[in-house]
Structure 1
Amino acid sequence: MVFLGCIVGENGMSMDPSKVEAIKAWPVPKSTSQSKTGASNVVADALSRRHTLLIELDARMLGFEHINKLYKAYPEFAKDIIEPTGLYTVQDGYLLKGNRLCIPNGSIRELLVCEAHGGAIAGHFRVNKTNDIVSEHFYWPKMSKDVQEIMAKCVVC
């Protein structure tokens, strides 16, 4: 019996030889990021990281798709979303500073800090470590101050 590319028989399970050959015959993908190395690949790499960040956040964060609607309501990002500068870019409607997603003012900031500080994979790190974790992927003005204030409310610490 053939099942999902495997042959199940009296002697157990084995891969269907025709499927193995089909996989071996797949052509190697060609892309600009593979043909360029070092400093010449920085732009493609940066675009790839931004796109990956947006996809991951959309999949993991409830309400993520509404962040881009909040930029114009907050003066800290309003000008940059309308007229991106060299420091800021807009991708898929989201404002980025370098490769970091700009987070408008609101409860989402506290959620991100709490997750970085005491979430499932965090260990109630100190302020500097928590700030480093958050600032790796996100940006907002006075982030360090916000991290300190939010962590001061941590009942575990």
Structure 2
Amino acid sequence: MRTQVLGFEQLREGYSDCPDFGKIFAQVHDSTILKSRDYYLNDGYLFHGKRLCIPQTSLRDFLLWETHAYGLSGHFNINKTIQEMEHRFFLAVHEARCGENHFFQCSTCRRAKMTK
């Protein structure tokens, strides 16, 4: 019996069009060895080493928000949240910076910043 996490199929669909992982995904997908520079496919998901690659999809935004607001790093600064994300997943460097919008939208962080 296979376990399926709802929404994660977005990742498989998002790799080919992703500006960060599209070329790598194509190279690994077309390779008979299915390995290129520490990237490999497992059941259609792209991995870099042991970390799952997260393409630019709404699921990436959701994971970033969950890590920021509800994870062990709840409401820490952007650098700590991105560090936590990169510990679990593989993100392109500039892709992680896109998460700054989440911090500007976070009412808890805005309130905390105003009280300092």
TM-score by length of 2: 0.72
CA distance in 2, matches of 1:63, 1:80: 22
Residue 62, structure 1, aligned to residue 6, structure 2: yes
Distance 1:120 1:131, change over 3 A: closer
The counterpart of 1:156, out of the listed 86, 101, 108, is 108
- After TM superposition, the runs of 4+ consecutive aligned structure 1 residues lying more than 4 A away are none
Larger Rg: 1
CA distance in 1, matches of 2:52, 2:101: 21
The counterpart of 1:91, out of the listed 38, 42, 49, is 42
Q: Secondary structure at the match of 1:76?
A: coil
Q: Secondary structure at the match of 1:68?
A: helix
Residue 71, structure 1, aligned to residue 71, structure 2: no
Match of 1:111 in 2: 62
Match of 2:113 in 1: none
* Two-structure CA RMSD over aligned residues (Å): 2.1
CA distance in 1, matches of 2:14, 2:71: 28
Q: Secondary structure at the match of 1:101?
A: strand
TM-score by length of 1: 0.55
Match of 1:135 in 2: 86
- Deviation per CA, 1:1-54: give whole Å up to 9, x if none: xxxxxxxxxxxxxxxxxxxxxxxxxxxxxxxxxxxxxxxxxxxxxxxxxxxxxx
Unmatched 5+ residue regions in structure 2?
Answer: 29-35, 110-116
Match of 1:52 in 2: none
Unmatched 5+ residue regions in structure 1?
Answer: 1-54
One-letter amino acid matched to 2:43: D
Query: Larger RCO: Structure 1 or Structure 2 (Cα < 8 Å, ≥ 6 residues apart)?
Result: 2
Following TM superposition, by how much is the alpha carbon of 1:121 offset from its aligned partner in structure 2, in angstroms?
Answer: 4.5
